[in-house]
Structure 1
Amino acid sequence: MDQSWGRPANEPGAGWAVVDVETSGFRPGQARVVSIAALALGDDGNVEHSLYSLLNPGVDPGPTHVHGLTAEMLAGQPRFGDIVGDLVELLRGRTLVAHNVGFDYSFLAAEAELVGAELPVDTVMCTVELTRRLDLGTDNLRLETLAAHWGITQMKPHDALDDAMVLAQILKPVLFRARERRVWLPVHPVTRRRWPNGAVTHDELRPFKAVASRLPCPYLNPGRYVEGRPLVQGMRVALSAEVIRTHEELVERIVHAGLSYTDNIDLETSLIICNDPAPEHGKGYQANELGVPLVRDDEFMRHLGSVVGGTGIEEFADATLAGDQFALF
């Protein structure tokens, strides 16, 4: 799979690895994993094989009232290094999936580093973000709430195996709904670095907005968007709070189309995605003050099917250089 952010739900993938860990605390590299469950799923969401183990962390197991695991229960269990080989084989070639994937993946990366192993994971997907995009109408996006929504029985919340099995059961109808609604999956790349001076950290899995705002755009900014005309690659696009789709999904689509995402509203901004035609505050208000066009998110999504090719920065630089050389004679 390539290293782009997000992909259409109807585009085939190489399968999923649904993972859940219970930990002795909240800081990867300091707290330890006390139990792990990983389920290998085909691209259709059907379980192919699994791994589950309690783990002896070698430290106090932490919040026993949450995960139910005591030091006595974990004393004779395997260490992470004893199961990492099986985990590596299960993960290989699959997208790692978790409910708040930054937490689970960061802990696994830290544990792998401690035993000198490397996780063969290139992409991850967070089911919190995916279900948020589907607008299911639930009160919240907690795992137990989603399980109830899909009619799935959760026997032991905060048990790694039960949570992973519930998430795997949820994933199948969620993927079907995503394909049905043509929603993009939040499949995001990760870089395998070493902990703590670089295995994957929470910072690396930070929201794509923070990453995208610093990505160089390969196209020149063609200026302001004009209503009735197509989008042009290189246009600088900002987001307001007044949208229906998640910011992460919109940013994925902006970057994928060859547009440039910006956190700032200024005279160089081509348009802002905003569903309120007359916002009274925030970025939408700033855009109106500067005359930056406001475009609804549904209208913006429709325009993505007919984006016009832009002028490449390298192409422009080469043409400028050639012109300068010609002027010397």
Structure 2
Amino acid sequence: MTNDTRYAVVDVETTGLHPERDRVLSVAVVQVDRHGTVSDSWSTLVDPGCDPGPVHIHGLTPQRLAGAPRHGEIAPQFDDLLDGLLPDLRLGTVATHWGVLLVRAHDALEDATALAGVFRHSLAAADADGVPLPLVACEQATPWIRARPPRYEGGWLNPGRLDVGGNLVQGMRIAVTGATGLPARRSTAAATTPVWT
């Protein structure tokens, strides 16, 4: 690792957690050297062209996003800020960087063995620089994308959409959104358990 090594720290706020359907609302890039000294920073709001999603989390209302550039308008500047700073972080690339042998990628034992070698080198580099690796216990780790809750498939045909002012009809499907007092799996199970009266 050379003394002129630079990094880009990136944060992105989105309309949700599903990369296939959710869109970017804001993006920020902070460039730092290997000691963490900030050399440059840039951020912008982005007009997603759709509902901004959970405003209570990110605070980005349609009013705040009005007039912001679209993703295509900011992409070239974003790419320029990352040019030469964010190498491919796939296991094979990182293993090659540290000189760790990886013969059969996507073989579970081979990948885990290579990752252990990468981890060993990372620990040594962090120790040499006098900094701890940002490690967390498994129970503290948060998945990037939460697993989709199970769906309840009842024995009833869906009667169609709910009419405005109408009542729920047996067989209608409902979606529970927003914060709940129960974990997602428990609240989904409670909402989809049929109740016979």
Superposition TM-score tier, normalisation by shorter sequence? 0.3 to 0.5
Could you say which structure has the greater relative contact order, defined with CA pairs below 8 angstroms and 6 or more residues apart?
A: 1
- More helix, by proportion: 1
